[in-house]
Amino acid sequence: MSHESSKHLREIIDGARKELSRIFENSEQSVYIYLDDLHKVCNSKFASLLGYSSPEEWAMVKENFPDAFVVKESQRVLIEAYQNAMQRFVGSTNQVIWKTKSGKPVKTTTILVPIVYEGHEMALHFIS
């Protein structure tokens, strides 16, 4: 990916985060938006749930998203939900076991819905 396109995608994810700032700051649930492994944002609740000190620290993780954040047994569920959201624009509710920074499993109910911001399709997640 060129530096220019990466910069553009950073602007897109930051713009989506800004547009949804009331949700990010006021939701009782953990929330994140996923554009790709390098371009994602979360609220403080989600960062804390996974043992990160801040949303920025969580967003800095550049490895494969499922490997970094989801236990093996839940990866297929989350990937299929994401694919359905992006290909067919359907939302879903799934049982996902996340992985904290230290590797501890966290059982959740994860709602995943497709959103579009400035022509870019991404997934908005609510976790409880």
pLDDT per residue as tens digits for the range 7-63 = 999 999 999 999 999 999 999 999 999 999 999 999 999 999 999 999 999 999 999
Query: 106 lies in which domain range?
Result: 3-127
Contacts by 24-30 with C-beta closer than 8 Å and gap 24+? 27/126, 28/128, 29/126, 29/127, 29/128, 30/108, 30/126, 30/127, 30/128
Q: Return d(Cα 10, Cα 79) in angstroms, integer.
A: 22
At 87-104, the pLDDT tens digits run 999 999 999 999 999 999
Is 39:12 a contact under the CB 8 Å cutoff?
A: yes
- Whichever domain contains 16, its CATH number is 3.30.450.20
The whole-number pLDDT of residue 112 equals: 98
What's the number of domains the chain is made of? 1
